[in-house]
Amino acid sequence: MLRFRNTLSGKVEEFHPMNEGEVRFYYCGPTVWEYGHIGNFRSAVAADIVRRYLKFKGYKVTHVMNITDVEDRIIAKSQEAGLSIDDYTAKYIDALWEDFDALGCERPEIVPRATRHIPEMVSLIEKLLETNHAYASDGSIYYRIASFPEYGKLSKINFAGNIAGASERIDTDKYEKEDARDFALWKEPANENEPAWDTAIGRGRPGWHIECSAMSMKYLGETFDIHAGGIDLVFPHHENEIAQSEGATGKQFVRYWIHFEHLKVEGETMSKSKGNYYTYRDLKAKGYSAAGIRYFLLSVPYNKQINLNFDVLAGAEKTVAGLRDFRARLNEAKTEPGMNEALHDIALRAAEEFEAGMDDDLNTSVALAVVHNLSREVNTALARKKVKEENKQELLELLKRIDTVLNIFGAESNEMLDSEIQSLIDERQEARRRRDFHRSDEIRDELASRGIILEDTKDGVRWRR
């Protein structure tokens, strides 16, 4: 039985979806004002694990990830560049998918963009105005927090007596509000050049929080199963989403909330001013592979802080290469017919332990430990020639099934690690030495199909991607 921590109750709970066999899952996606940083991808990979493990458990998953493509930084940056917000964000949306795919994340079923859902946001705001949860002031529209007594139930922040202090953190809007805590649902443009939509509630643009309420309920219904995001979104973003959605519908908005912990760099908060800010692309440029980065991000469970340390990241690269070597050795092992019962038991136990670890609050570090134990035991058996044909098939099947969740062996990705390429090149050289040109051509073709070009030079074989 799958259990995970529900931020709403503060407890680890058994997961039971509303409709048997299917899960409706919303993940707060990126704001495409620049390339995604590695902390964003910690969350994206954690959400990918939620999605993949739900599928592993047999659920049909409808996963929605929004793209925030209008907000203050996007407006400022696009104006600086002299571009429309669509032209400005196009580059970062393309980059998002490149990075997302490279890191082995499955694409969600539905990826709504904020700028394409203005009418849905307007009608939600109209409903909040009708029910007195919202008010217009000075051309903008605000949510009236005093109208929603349950405000704070997710973050457990006690707002009584803390209003003035909280207000500065919540919102630095310069507009007139009834109460400092109130937040903007709809913003009047500050000047004529700002992008704005002409709508029934006036000319303006949506606040960030209303986007997620409108888009999640459009695609998943007024009440849905799981809402996830980085832990920094608990307050105010998710608290505000609850106030907006439950204020408008009178129904529970989300049944389970999952929040992913922060990523730190060498023990410090990542920030541009500290010079320790890395996009995924920066790490790629430093020579780390997507597979190594994904492994590193999975090595710490989602509910613990992860510390980016370059020695650890280099270690992750080696670990992934070692696991892939193990699978290749198993795959190529010459086996005799039959089944070794002891090894069969090892496979069954590994399958059980993997599922038990993941069931226990999606503990990816336990799941990885199971894979490492398995590889140690099977490597020993391979060395002693104790792996029989049925064991081999069973073990390869098990690795494949585990990898539908972890996606570290790269069955689904086309990316090859440098060490894998090198070992195929060595094998090709060996084949050529024994004049097995059929095999050497086969290897060259396989590498070519994965985008690796070989060049025979007088100093040996060189390769490039």
Binding site for Zn ion (CB under 5 A): 28, 212
To Zn ion, the closest distance from the beta carbon of 441 in angstroms equals: 52
To Zn ion, the closest distance from the beta carbon of 217 in angstroms equals: 12
Angle at 387 between CA 385 and CA 389, to 5 degrees: 125
DSSP 153-181: TTT----TT-HHHHHHHH----S--SSTT
Regarding beta strands 306-308 and 197-199, do their DSSP bridges make them parallel or antiparallel, or are they unpaired? unpaired
In order of 123, 213, 301, 340, 344, the CA distances from 386 in angstroms are 67, 57, 34, 7, 11
Cα torsion angle, 328, 330, 336, 338, sign: negative
H or E element in which residue 256 lies: strand 254-260
Nearer to Zn ion, 212 or 371 (CB): 212
Nearer to Zn ion, 154 or 212 (CB): 212
Nearer to Zn ion, 48 or 71 (CB): 71
Nearer to Zn ion, 5 or 238 (CB): 238
Nearer to Zn ion, 257 or 295 (CB): 257
Question: With contact defined as beta carbons under 8 Å apart, do 105 and 61 qualify?
Answer: no
Regarding beta strands 60-65 and 22-27, do their DSSP bridges make them parallel or antiparallel, or are they unpaired? parallel
Q: Which one, of 304, 324, 214, 315, lies nearest residue 264 by Cα?
A: 304
Nearer to Zn ion, 28 or 96 (CB): 28
For residues 90-103, one letter each, b for 16 or more C-beta atoms within 10 angstroms of the residue's C-beta and e for the rest, the string is eebbebbeebbbbb
To Zn ion, the closest distance from the beta carbon of 213 in angstroms equals: 8
Nearer to Zn ion, 212 or 283 (CB): 212
Cα torsion angle, 287, 293, 296, 302, sign: positive
Nearer to Zn ion, 244 or 340 (CB): 244
DSSP 121-145: HHHHHHHHHHTTSEEEETTEEEE-G
Which tokens hold the place of 234? Answer: 């608990």
To Zn ion, the closest distance from the beta carbon of 199 in angstroms equals: 21
Q: Cβ–Cβ contacts within 10 Å for residue 36, how many?
A: 22
Nearer to Zn ion, 68 or 289 (CB): 68
In order of 129, 235, 273, 332, 427, the CA distances from 270 in angstroms are 39, 19, 9, 44, 43
To Zn ion, the closest distance from the beta carbon of 405 in angstroms equals: 25
Q: How far from each other are the two terminal CA atoms of the chain, in whole angstroms?
A: 44
Nearer to Zn ion, 219 or 296 (CB): 219
- Cα 153 to chain center, whole Å? 25
